[in-house]
Amino acid sequence: MTDGNGMINICSFGAVGDGRTDNTAAIQKALDAAAETQATVYVPEGVYLTSRLRFGPHVGMMGNPTWSYESPGGPILRLNDEKASCLIDLTGAIGATLNGLCLEGADLGADVHGVLIDNPEYRTTDMPLLERCRISHFTGDGVRFRRIWAFRIRSCMMIENAGNGIWIRGWDGYLIDNCLTANGQAGYGAYEENVAFTLTGNRIEWNKAGGIVSHGGSHYNITGNYIDRSGGPGIWFRPRGEVACTIISAVGNVIYRSGKPEWCPDDEYASAQARFEGVHGLVFTGNSMNACKDDHGNGQFSPRYGIAYGALRNSVIKDNVMHCGAIKELMMDLGGHGDGVIVKDNVGSVFVPGQTPIADLNAAWADPAWERPDGREHR
């Protein structure tokens, strides 16, 4: 039942995008048919209610993405089962692709994920591709890849999920040109083994537990990201038990008003633009940081610290700029370092509320008269 483009249309199997019909069986039949020939399933514009959908290897699903920052658009798959573990299950679906879809969790259930890979063990390369998708309002993580080996996430938005925007346990990932916004945990969170990741050109903003958070991570290339109003540090690397972080390069990022006070855990140094503990082989250079309040000049200024660092070895923190970068200390040395640590030429100034001229901040964001085009405020 392929169309002229060689794709399988879910409507050919009885799917109806009216926002009322349960389409689980119809869409699953389309996916099963695609698995027989490694084909792509096409989802037309509409709202398709569904429970968990399981993909086979080398199966694609795509639609025409017309979503925006504020709202879904085009083909929308909306969860209608609060007992489901996820909406899209890619476990075992080697080489699967999602392109141009809106996935909505509808805030149903508890710990329900948007896209899930839950491998019981590491095996061959998984290599899924998520591209131009909007993943929102799941009670778990927007994307949760457990024991993943190789993946790509490009030009997607993970917004307003209760967990992390992206949760990773595994190896070899590329995250490029994504927007990780207003999630209940970190924008990007990796708390178990996590090795060999490239994060480039992402906008990571308003995530309650931090921007980029890694426990015991290794071999990271973090370049050219914009990290705004995190609840913890904008970039945070720390050990995982006895496992140190190793070979971390973070260059050319903009980190803005991290450590939002009411979102920080009960941890003095969580209110920092960047925090590095137990890292061996760190390069943190060429980054620019700035303190501020919420939009419209609301809330409290943060963070307390610019860069908090401790227990480093063979590491360089150099040539970073913190123009009005923190409200207490620009550099907080937590001690305990090993050999080969260079910390120098990190310039800037402490921001003193009521004394530092507002012109030294980003006036458009700090000015109470400034309004977003849609009239809404950030969380």
Question: Tens digit of pLDDT for each residue in 114-126?
Answer: 999 999 999 889 9
Can you tell me the mean pLDDT for 292-302?
Answer: 88
Can you tell me the mean pLDDT for 286-315?
Answer: 94
The model's confidence at residue 308, banded by pLDDT at 50, 70 and 90, is: very high
Can you tell me the mean pLDDT for 266-284?
Answer: 96
Can you tell me the mean pLDDT for 19-34?
Answer: 98
The model's confidence at residue 370, banded by pLDDT at 50, 70 and 90, is: very low
pLDDT value at residue 264: 84
pLDDT value at residue 52: 98
pLDDT value at residue 360: 58
Residues 324, 350: contact at Cβ < 8 Å?
yes
**pLDDT at residue 198 is higher than 70:** yes
pLDDT value at residue 318: 98
pLDDT value at residue 1: 57
Residues 158, 189: contact at Cβ < 8 Å?
no
Can you tell me the mean pLDDT for 185-214?
Answer: 98
Can you tell me the mean pLDDT for 86-98?
Answer: 97
Rounded to the nearest integer, the mean pLDDT of the chain is: 93
pLDDT value at residue 367: 53
